[in-house]
Amino acid sequence: MTRPKVYVARRIPEVGLKILSEAADVQLFSGELPPTRDELLSGVAGCSGILSLLSDRLDGEVFEAAGKQLRVVSNFAVGYNNIDVAEALRRGIAVGNTPDVLTDATADVAVGLLLAAARRFGEAARAVKERAWKTWEPMGWIGLDLRGKTLGIVGMGRIGEAVARRLHGGWGMRVLYTARSTKQSVEAELSARRCELDELLQHSDFVSLHVPLCAATTNLIGEPQFAHMKSTAVLVNTARGEIVDQSALEIALREGQIFAAGLDVCVPEPLLAESPLRKLDNCFILPHIGSATVVARNAMATRAAQNIVAGLRGDKLPFPVSA
Burial of 308 (0-12, 13-18, 19+ CB in 10 A): buried
Select the span of 35-43, 74-82, 88-96, 303-311 touching ligand GLV (CB under 6 A).
Answer: 74-82
Q: Residues 6 or more apart from 139 whose CB is under 8 A from it?
A: none
Q: Say whether residue 147 binds ligand NAP (CB under 6 A).
A: no
Catalytic residue among 22, 196, 255, 269: 269
Catalytic annotation present for 203 = no
Q: Say whether residue 157 binds ligand GLV (CB under 6 A).
A: no
As beta bridge partners, residue 206 has 151, 234
Select the span of 56-64, 73-81, 254-262, 302-310 touching ligand GLV (CB under 6 A).
Answer: 73-81
How far is Cα 14 from Cα 295, in angstroms, rounded to an integer?
A: 13
Q: What does 174 bind: ligand GLV, ligand NAP, none (CB cut-off 5 to 8 Å by kind)? A: none
Residues 37-56 that bind ligand GLV (CB under 6 A): 54
Site map (CB under 6 A) of ligand GLV, residues 238-277, x = contact:
----------------------------------------
Residue of 16, 157, 262, 311 that binds ligand NAP (CB under 6 A): 157
Strands 260-263 and 283-285 turn out to be: parallel
Type of residue found at 314: G
Q: Is the peptide bond before 4 cis (omega within 30 degrees of 0)?
A: no
Q: Residue ranges of the alpha helices (H) in the chain?
A: 14-23, 37-43, 60-66, 85-90, 103-118, 121-129, 158-171, 184-190, 197-203, 223-228, 246-254, 294-313
Quote the radius of gyration of the chain (alpha carbons, Å): 21
Type of residue found at 88: A
Q: What does 156 bind: ligand GLV, ligand NAP, none (CB cut-off 5 to 8 Å by kind)? A: ligand NAP
Give 237 or 291: the residue with its C-beta nearer to ligand GLV. Answer: 291
Residues 280-299 that bind ligand GLV (CB under 6 A): 290-291
Q: Say whether residue 122 binds ligand GLV (CB under 6 A).
A: no
Residue 212 DSSP symbol: P
Catalytic residue among 119, 240, 297, 303: 240
Q: What does 180 bind: ligand GLV, ligand NAP, none (CB cut-off 5 to 8 Å by kind)? A: ligand NAP
- Rounded to the nearest whole angstrom, what is the least distance from the CB of residue 162 to ligand NAP in the complex? 8
CB atoms within 10 A of CB 241: 18
Catalytic annotation present for 240 = yes
Q: Say whether residue 102 binds ligand GLV (CB under 6 A).
A: yes
How far is Cα 100 from Cα 157, in angstroms, rounded to an integer?
A: 10
**Interface with ligand NAP by CB under 6 A: which residues?**
78-79, 99, 102, 106, 155-160, 179-181, 210-214, 216-217, 238-240, 264-265, 288, 290-291
